[in-house]
A = this chain, B = another copy of it.
Amino acid sequence: MAVYTDVSFEELNSLLADYDIGEPQTFKGIAEGVENSNFYLQTDRGAYILTLYEKRVHAEDLPYFLGLMTHLAEHGIACPLPVRSKSGAYSTELRGRPAALLTFLNGVSLRKPEVENCRAAGDALARVHAASKNFALKRKNALSLAGWQSLAEQTREKASTVQSDLEKLILETLSELSAWPHDLPEGVIHADLFPDNVLFLDGKVSGLIDFYFACNDALAYDIAIMLNAWCFEGDGAFNMTKSKALLSAYQARRSLTKKEIEALPLLARGAALRFLLTRLYDWLNPDPSAFVRPKDPRDYIKRLRFHRNIQTAAEYGL
């Protein structure tokens, strides 16, 4: 759920004076993502999303995010396309926040993706990695090893209130991750391609959304994130059929290198830790003005414990 900042129709209307997208017919705050305020806008010419970027998305990163979506859309990826204002700007300001208008994509996100959905999502990720190859801008991953160490510091004191040995689990994992590989093929990664962010229509991927964690990092880390997000059941059990489907669909477009395959268990551990830590932080520091229920970090404790018992990528079905 996310509408932190309210926008009146009158405010919308004065914003639209700068755009050439027709007359508004419907304008509603919607539950889309958790970091920003989002509005569904329908005009006589089409459907759009108005996004107001709240504190976790920084204005200086917008050229990267909006430029990436433009680049991907131009290279055949179904993702929101930033709409330029009459003066050519990709972003604007509303209620004191950076804001952008993007095209709206039809499709629904799945709570419980099936094997075929995992296959389609793996294929979609490989297509993003290929399509972003020549994207000129760069952005460091703000939520990589150093970020995790800092989050671990900020949460360690209260971690035991969630699970008694959680602090130990986090510290041990961080220490294992000192072996984090730095020589894997890099490129633009989505970094948050959860089922929430993949839209389906008639069983096919109709859109990829929420590129606001995108950055340059190891491509295989993006896969590791998806193994965590797509291949575990509600009870926390790993589903190798889903994992095989996702990985083989990805590899049909780009074969993983030997180093990537060897690194996968460690990358999966890192990805589990990343979402464990951000969820733990939000769980321990709920923002009363956020209108968002923090996600339970315990799902990712389970996943992390699973990955720590993995010896080789073969156990993921590779």
| Interfacial residues, chain A to chain B (CB-CB below 8 A) | 1, 3, 8-12, 23-32, 40, 42, 104, 106-112, 201-202, 288, 291-292
- For the complex of A and B, list the 6 residue pairs with the smallest distance between their C-beta atoms, beginning with the closest: A29-B31, A8-B111, A291-B291, A9-B108, A25-B106, A28-B30
Could you name 28 residue pairs across A and B whose Cβ atoms are closer than 8 Å? A1-B3, A1-B29, A3-B31, A8-B111, A8-B112, A9-B108, A9-B110, A10-B110, A10-B112, A12-B108, A23-B202, A25-B107, A25-B108, A26-B104, A26-B107, A26-B108, A27-B108, A28-B30, A28-B31, A28-B32, A29-B30, A29-B31, A30-B31, A30-B40, A40-B40, A42-B106, A288-B288, A291-B291
Q: Complex: how many Å from CA A9 to CA B291?
A: 21
Assuming A25-B201, A28-B31, what are 15 further A-B pairs, CB within 8 angstroms? Answer: A1-B1, A9-B109, A9-B111, A25-B106, A25-B107, A26-B104, A26-B107, A26-B108, A27-B108, A28-B30, A28-B32, A28-B40, A29-B30, A30-B31, A30-B40
Instruction: Using CB atoms, name the residue of chain B closest to A28.
Output: B30
Instruction: Using CB atoms, name the residue of chain B closest to A41.
Output: B108
